[in-house]
Amino acid sequence: MKLPVSLLCAVASVAALSFSAHAQPAKPDLVKGAALYSQMCVACHAADGNSTTAENPKLAQQHPEYLIKQLQEFKSGKRDSAVMKGFAAALSDDDMRNISFWLAGQKGSNGFAQNKDTVRLGERIYRGGISDRQIAACAGCHSPNGAGIPAQYPRLSGQHAGYTEAQLKAFRSGARNNHAQMTGVAAKMNDREIKAVSDFIAGLR
Same domain flag for 125 and 73: no
Q: Which of 104, 129, 144 is the last residue of a domain?
A: 104
Task: Return d(Cα 30, Cα 128) in angstroms, integer.
Answer: 38
- Domain ranges, residue 69: 30-104
Per the rule left: phi > 0, alpha: psi between -120 and 50, beta: everything else, 61 is: left
Short-list 71, 61, 66, CA closest to 41: 71
Cα–Cα distances in angstroms (integers) from residue 17 to residues 5, 20, 23, 30, in the given order: 18, 5, 10, 27
DSSP annotation of 58 = -
Are 154 and 125 found together in one domain?
Answer: yes
**Does 16 map to a domain?**
no
pTM: 0.86
The secondary structure of residue 94, as a DSSP letter, is: H
Contact 74, 85 (CB under 8 A): yes
Task: Give the pLDDT score at 26.
Answer: 77
What does the pLDDT look like over 19-78, one tens digit per residue? 344 456 679 999 999 999 999 999 999 999 999 999 999 999 999 999 999 999 999 999
Indicate the residue among 104, 133, 162 that finishes a domain. Answer: 104
List the chain residues with pLDDT less than 70: 1-25
- The neighbouring-strand residues paired with 135 are 130
Q: Let me know whether 124 and 99 are in one domain.
A: no
Q: Are residues 84 and 130 in the same domain?
A: no
The total number of structural domains in the chain stands at 2
Residue 24 lies in a domain: no
pLDDT of residue 23: 52
- 100: Cβ–Cβ under 8 A, 6 or more apart, which residues? 28, 33, 62, 64, 65, 67, 68, 71
Mean of all residue pLDDT scores within the chain: 90
Q: Is 153 left (phi over 0), alpha (psi -120 to 50) or beta?
A: beta
User: Which of 81, 104, 127 is the last residue in one of the domains?
Assistant: 104
Assess whether 66 and 92 both reside in one domain: yes
State whether 128 and 77 are in the same domain.
Answer: no
Domain annotation covers residue 59: yes
| Residue 34 shares a structural domain with residue 85 | yes
Note the pLDDT of residue 151.
Answer: 84
pLDDT of residue 160: 98
Residue 20 lies in a domain: no
